[in-house]
Structure 1
Amino acid sequence: MGEVYNFPTSRPPNAAPETCATAKGEVDLLIGAQAFPRAVLLLARSFIAGYETYPRGAALFATQQRWLLCHAALACHFRVANADGPGLTRRTLAHVALQHGIASRNTAHAFFDEVLKYDVIRSAGGAADGHAAQAVPSPAALSMLIRWYAVHFEALDLVDNGCRAARFLAQPESMLACMQPRVADVLLSSPDVRAPRPFYAIFTWADAGGLLMDRLVAGISPEELAEPNRYQTDVNAISHLARSSGLSRAHTSRKLSAAESIGGMGWSGRRGHSPIWISRGFYEEYAGAQACKLLILNNAFEEATAAIMLASEPNLKPQARSLVSTTY
């Protein structure tokens, strides 16, 4: 597949956000890393496991619009922890959604009310109510978020034999407070994230459609990736795929038919009674989306590590501060 990937030196913590579009070469290099296919399978299988553990929370990360709203909401929350914002409220979430063109005000309000109802977030208390009432992530949601970051760092560690996951899990609350606003800013402004390619888009804009992609990719054996044009999965029936993602059979069938109509997938034998295959193009779109996200998270990790070190060493001389910023 290629050489072991060496991640570039991180930018200083106050550097301007970089989108995947400006780092296309880095994405290609990461995809070409020898261990990257294993990292992709790790991510896909972990997303499915996360859904089985916390289905309501994981499903929010399986649809493009809701995934972006989640990151926007979490950024609002962690910015107040950093004394840099008003916190998570219906008003602030709607403002960010409109600012970045994620959703209408009414959709953002409905999303806020839904996640509040199902205890993904909960009231922070205080005197304010209505649009100004602050909310915070529930313990279950924070646990899921920590696991989401950790599994991405495990994937990065697979690529370069790093130790990000262990370092992150040693102080997850501090790391999240530093990383999440930065990650959200880049995700919300990245053209590559906001405008997925055709195969990926078929699923990512559907209700929990990302889980369908995850399940298909998770069902590929590493040996299959040596095939030139298509990769057979272990999924044999639409009903099984629907159950594993919490979707109806009819909805799942529509998504598969749409992907099949443009050559993204098919059946190795009788339709609905034989293993599904996905095209190389479909897999490459999925892998490319994961690579883009991993690079964003890697940059955020390095910047957060440097920022936390600087905060813990206030007496560092300017030369030492500069060295820390370019080393971590």
Structure 2
Amino acid sequence: MIGTQSSAIDTTKVSVSSEVDLFAANPALFPVLQQGARHMIELYDHFPRIARLVAAQQKWLLTQAAYALHLQRDPADPLSGITAARLLDVIAATNLASRNTATAFLAELRAYKLIRDVTGSPSKRSRPLEPTETSHEAMTLWFRGQLRSLDLIDQGDRVARLESNPDIFRFAQPLAAKRLIADKAWREPPVSISCFVWTEYGGLILDDFISRIANIEPEDGCYWVDDLRFSELSSHYSLSRTHVRRLFARAEAQGSLGWQDRNGNRNRIWATASFVEDYKRWQSVKFCALEWAYNEAVRSIAQGAF
């Protein structure tokens, strides 16, 4: 199990890969992932515009990078914080996005009023940006939900500590974002997962699908989802049926899932055990990064380094 600060795995002695393997093997993980997927659906229902915008892996990573820049902004330096140039510096080493993509993404955030100009900036060429209140609320609720998932796995008290000291979020989010952006295992998930999350809005559909799986352990080598209808997904997430159908067709073509057609039941879907294992391990990469960042934040605050 991944513990609280006092019992966390010592990553100086255990490789990150081994740490992830241990986390993914935890029998408590999958039910918590399903709960986390339901939390993401709740966030979508509360922040549909933001959720749709970041429901693809590239934009999710860009969002985390931009928010980290905001939290690391130096009030004494009016040009620090979120700018297109600084965002590019963060992602340059990973080839995550081109200059045009990063610039277009920031323009999209501005158009949706999710970021705004920092008041009082002396530069007209490189105007720093900051998240709006809606963006801040969405990010803090997402972070709290991730810590709640960690707490459910090991009965920890991270959320309680976060609520008593919000500086944990301010310190930990940039650390987690930096580690996840640098980690190819998170940035480039297995093909079974990337066929969803590297597609526009695919993260929404993947969360929904995971939340519907009925059996915690595989039955006859499969996990089952009953009564899934494209029309329902299309309506809930304001997506075309064609787009939803295309996402599932890609996964079916890879052999990750398929439909049971016994007695004409085309609404019952099976997913392979390997697909779920891929998902569990990919999510474990994220949780290990968040656990490490949380512990670093708690340690630094206790030492007065923040």
Normalising by structure 1, report the TM-score: 0.84
Deviates more, 1:286-295 or 1:303-312: 303-312
CA contact (8 A) 1:236 1:274 kept: yes
Q: Which residue of 2 aligns with 1:26?
A: 19
Taking the aligned partners of 1:234 and 1:83, their CA distance within structure 2 comes to: 56
Taking the aligned partners of 2:261 and 2:75, their CA distance within structure 1 comes to: 56
Cα shift at 1:94: 2.8
CA contact (8 A) 2:88 2:99 kept: yes
Taking the aligned partners of 2:116 and 2:97, their CA distance within structure 1 comes to: 22
**RMSD after superposition:** 2.6
Structure 2 residues not aligned, in runs of 5+: none
| Alignment length (residue pairs) | 302
Taking the aligned partners of 1:187 and 1:177, their CA distance within structure 2 comes to: 16
Cα shift at 1:125: 1.3
Q: 1:268 aligns with which of 249, 260, 264?
A: 260
Taking the aligned partners of 1:118 and 1:272, their CA distance within structure 2 comes to: 42
Structure-2 change in CA distance of 1:131 and 1:266 (3 Å):
farther
CA contact (8 A) 1:224 1:232 kept: no
Cα shift at 1:214: 0.5
1:135-189 deviation line (CA, Å, top 9, x unaligned): 11111111111111111111111111101112112232x1222112211210111
Q: 2:271 aligns with which of 265, 278, 282?
A: 278
Structure-2 change in CA distance of 1:5 and 1:125 (3 Å):
closer
Cα shift at 1:50: 0.8
The yes-or-no answer on 1:206 pairing with 2:236 is no
CA contact (8 A) 2:121 2:128 kept: no
Say which SS state the counterpart of residue 86 (structure 1) adopts.
coil
Identity percentage over the alignment?
31
Structure-2 change in CA distance of 1:81 and 1:198 (3 Å):
same
Structure-2 change in CA distance of 1:82 and 1:306 (3 Å):
farther
Say which SS state the counterpart of residue 62 (structure 1) adopts.
coil
Q: Which residue of 2 aligns with 1:86?
A: 80
The yes-or-no answer on 1:62 pairing with 2:55 is yes
Taking the aligned partners of 2:124 and 2:196, their CA distance within structure 1 comes to: 34
Taking the aligned partners of 1:234 and 1:129, their CA distance within structure 2 comes to: 56
The amino acid of 2:211's aligned partner reads A
Structure-2 change in CA distance of 1:126 and 1:112 (3 Å):
same
Cα shift at 1:83: 7.0
Q: Which residue of 1 aligns with 2:232?
A: 240
Say which SS state the counterpart of residue 73 (structure 2) adopts.
helix
Taking the aligned partners of 2:177 and 2:249, their CA distance within structure 1 comes to: 33
Taking the aligned partners of 1:100 and 1:128, their CA distance within structure 2 comes to: 31
Taking the aligned partners of 2:283 and 2:53, their CA distance within structure 1 comes to: 17
Taking the aligned partners of 2:242 and 2:103, their CA distance within structure 1 comes to: 29
CA contact (8 A) 2:172 2:293 kept: yes
The amino acid of 1:248's aligned partner reads S
The amino acid of 2:279's aligned partner reads Y
Normalising by structure 2, report the TM-score: 0.90
Taking the aligned partners of 1:86 and 1:57, their CA distance within structure 2 comes to: 24
Say which SS state the counterpart of residue 218 (structure 1) adopts.
helix
Taking the aligned partners of 1:70 and 1:165, their CA distance within structure 2 comes to: 23
Structure-2 change in CA distance of 1:228 and 1:110 (3 Å):
same
Q: Which residue of 2 aligns with 1:75?
A: 68
